[in-house]
Structure 1
Amino acid sequence: MKKQCPLGEQHPLSEKEEERIYRWIVHGEAEKADAEAWRQYQNWLQESPARAHKASQVDGVWNHPEFEKAARLIGSTLPLDTTAPTPRRYRNPWYLAAAAAGFLVAITVSLLQPSNPSIDAGNRLYATERQQTSRNALADGSTLDMSAQSRVAVDFSERERRIRLYDGEARFTVAKDRQRPFVVESRQASVKALGTVFNVDQRGDITELTVLEGLVSAHPLNRPDKTQHVAAGERVRISGNAIGPVQKFDLHNYSDWLQGLVQVENIRLEELLVEFNRYSDTPLIAGDRHTRNLRVGGTFDLKDIHTNLQILATLHGLAISESGEEIVLRSNGNSTHSSL
């Protein structure tokens, strides 16, 4: 029987190909990329199974929970550059990553072995543009619905199903698999489910979790000791190291971006503009502190941003100015006049 070789041995990558993968994952290019860059990178990976396999390996090692511990341990023993302007700058920051990875050899051996093809098929990057939404069938039978201007990385292994929401908003309809928990991480939060339907919305420094079916657990990203359970008909907001309180809402009257609407209650206007900006042709900006922190609520039509702004201006005494490149909302005392 012919022995199967790992993908990397069948189709060795060039030095430039490996460098692009490391720069994207390790050097942080993914964090700075826009939707177009994400789509180009995703298409580039899909052109070659070896590239996709290598990216899965690197991402698995770099984001392994033991990596940070190893990095801290190595960091305390690395030689310092005493000639650098800052007192603690390493001569080669890549050396820290390489040294820490060396401490993880025993852990990463299993990650670097040829993966189950059905698992590899689940490792993908997804991105949407402004005013664009998408529905994606995942390899495990789950469904990923993405709002506009969203970026998501899907990383399935034999032990768990992990999703990273880098930007935007997404609804997850999770296929049941008790052997592999379904974990969604945003910048602020970690959400864990087995089989359920929930929505995760990342607005700046706040993540809002809304549960539509089943039960999930959630906690601030680095504070698992603050885990709360959130059931259908409940939502919770997570920011920094804080979570909660859990709030109930009426499931029967619930609407969201999948119906072309945004439904909010007592949030800052700055957060609402994040929602509007995903569907607006022109960037919307809150021009002063009072306007940014103004508490607003209601149901708004994402297909009619113009009318939404007029309503907000009338209700809250805001002035609206348009320069062609951006639309700015500012406090206008008691005035209800809108120039838009």
Structure 2
Amino acid sequence: MKNEELKAIEARAADWIAERDRSDGHLPAERQAELQRWLAESTAHRVAFLRLDQTWQRADRLRALKPAKAPEAASRPTRIGGWHWMVQPTLKRAAAGLSLAVLTLIIASAFRPQQRQDTVNYATARGQRQSIKLADGSQLTLNTATQLRTAVTPRARQVWLESGEAFFDIAHDAQRPFVIHAGKQTVTVLGTKFSLFREGDRLNVTVLEGRVQVQGEDQGQATVLTRDHAALADAGNVLVTLQSPQQVNASLGWLQGKLVFNEVSLAEAARQFNRYGIKQLVIKDEAAARIGIGGVFDAGNVEAFARLLHAGFGLEVRVSGDEIQVSTPTT
């Protein structure tokens, strides 16, 4: 979708919110039905409306300055930092009576990005998994060393994946798309099952069921993934691959506490194990790092994996503090 189209959608969403605000938060039945038709036309419409509506709610402190009995006046959309904000003329008159210093503090507080009071934080320690059931019936499973926060309200469903990996089983709700913010990527769904693994600005997506839309900040068009599709996304690119059901199930082995390797290098296997335990697997030389590994392993038992490396490949294994050092035999 082109930037011009996105701007037009944002502008229309701002008009709807302004009209609702003029009606004290409740549109007449006929206009509400028209709004619902507009929202149903496109996921982009719903996402723009929900995101803008949430941003507008952050300005509640400013709107609280509006007198209880004010004459009706049209709201004027104003663009601040890329968003449309509705500023009531009566609000400006009320604010005019405040000192400049007080008004500055109020505006700075209202427009500063902040965590909403209706968000809930979750975090898992290294090697820990946690299952979460949200108010809408959606279920989340957090993998090792994962941090996220959720905000599920009657108007919107959002998650911020700060780091780590999570599996999402999203309850269908056509009126409230489920939006996940993961760094520079935004993932939008209605109802589906998929996993996300975030490392900095890089995001791995694996879809088990349904459809998932991935939109990057620097991408002009969203990418839609369906069942058995996986994607690796960064700020400006999305690489999509079609996987076999076996590959998808392997990537989700962590849900049962397993690591499933299909001829990956020992270096990659070590990287995966090191996400779960205190003891870190250190591969000491390139020859050992290039060895191909296949099989199903307990993610929390790196010691057993190291014993298999010694027994199956004849590799030297030495424990030094919190490191398990692996190398090819010396001659």
* TM-score calculated relative to the size of structure 2: 0.56
What residue number does 2:143 align with? 147
Tell which structure's C-alpha radius of gyration is larger. 2
Letter in 1 for 2:166: A
What residue number does 1:281 align with? 278
Does 2:209 correspond to 1:210? no
Q: What is the total number of aligned residue pairs between the two structures?
A: 234
Displacement of 1:280 after TM fit?
A: 1.7
| Counterparts of 1:315 and 1:189, CA distance in 2 | 42
| Counterparts of 1:193 and 1:325, CA distance in 2 | 41
Does 2:220 correspond to 1:225? yes
Distance 1:313 1:131, change over 3 A: same
Displacement of 1:184 after TM fit?
A: 2.0
SS of 2:214's equivalent?
Answer: strand
Displacement of 1:298 after TM fit?
A: 4.5
| Counterparts of 2:219 and 2:296, CA distance in 1 | 33
What residue number does 2:297 align with? 300
Contact 1:67 1:104 in 2 (8 A): no
Contact 1:165 1:186 in 2 (8 A): yes
Aligned runs of 1:59-74 on 2, under 5 Å? none
Provide the alpha-carbon RMSD of the alignment: 4.3
Contact 2:278 2:322 in 1 (8 A): no
Unpaired segments ≥5 residues, structure 1 = 1-55, 59-65, 71-97
Displacement of 1:223 after TM fit?
A: 2.8
Residue 321 (structure 2) aligned to one of 318, 321, 324: 324
Contact 1:217 1:230 in 2 (8 A): yes
What residue number does 1:127 align with? 123
CA displacement 1:141-179 (0-9 Å, x = unmatched): 111111122111113355532212222211111011112
CA displacement 1:212-263 (0-9 Å, x = unmatched): 11111124x4234253221122222224432213231215982411112123
What's the % identity of the aligned pairs?
26
Unpaired segments ≥5 residues, structure 2 = 1-56, 60-78, 84-102
What residue number does 2:255 align with? 258
What residue number does 1:38 align with? none
| Counterparts of 1:177 and 1:270, CA distance in 2 | 42
Aligned runs of 1:4-43 on 2, under 5 Å? none
* TM-score calculated relative to the size of structure 1: 0.55
Displacement of 1:103 after TM fit?
A: 8.5
What residue number does 2:64 align with? none
What residue number does 1:200 align with? 196
Distance 1:218 1:253, change over 3 A: closer
What residue number does 1:237 align with? 232
Displacement of 1:211 after TM fit?
A: 1.0
Aligned runs of 1:56-95 on 2, under 5 Å? none
CA displacement 1:35-93 (0-9 Å, x = unmatched): xxxxxxxxxxxxxxxxxxxxx959xxxxxxx88659xxxxxxxxxxxxxxxxxxxxxxx
Distance 1:242 1:224, change over 3 A: closer
